[in-house]
Amino acid sequence: MVSVNGNVINENTLTAVLALCVEPKEKYLEAVGRVFAHKDYRSVAMEFYKYIKYNYSGYQFDAAYPEENKQTIDFMISIGARVLA
């Protein structure tokens, strides 16, 4: 699995999507919606996390998820993200 422009590619097949809003002048990055993964959410989310960490180092990153999206919130906690109630 590799990240290409915010998409996860596995053997030339699109397996996940994450929309990002990027403001380079402000060094601001926001997830728009959530990670849509065909399968294996945790691995896909980790690939996106590595992509963002590498390509947007020093940016403020914000994402908002409803409390029902436990899978994403648990992932964000696992990587040490600050989660607000």
Assess whether pLDDT exceeds 80 at residue 48: yes
pTM assigned to the model: 0.75
Task: Using pLDDT thresholds of 50, 70 and 90, give the confidence band for residue 3.
Answer: low
Backbone angles phi, psi at 37, to 5 degrees: -115, 135
Distances in whole angstroms, Cα of residue 85 to Cα of each of 35, 42, 67: 20, 22, 8
Q: Output the pLDDT for position 1.
A: 45
Query: pLDDT tens digits for 59-84?
Result: 999 888 888 888 888 998 999 988 88
Q: Per DSSP, what are the bridge partners of residue 15? A: none
Q: Output the pLDDT for position 69.
A: 86
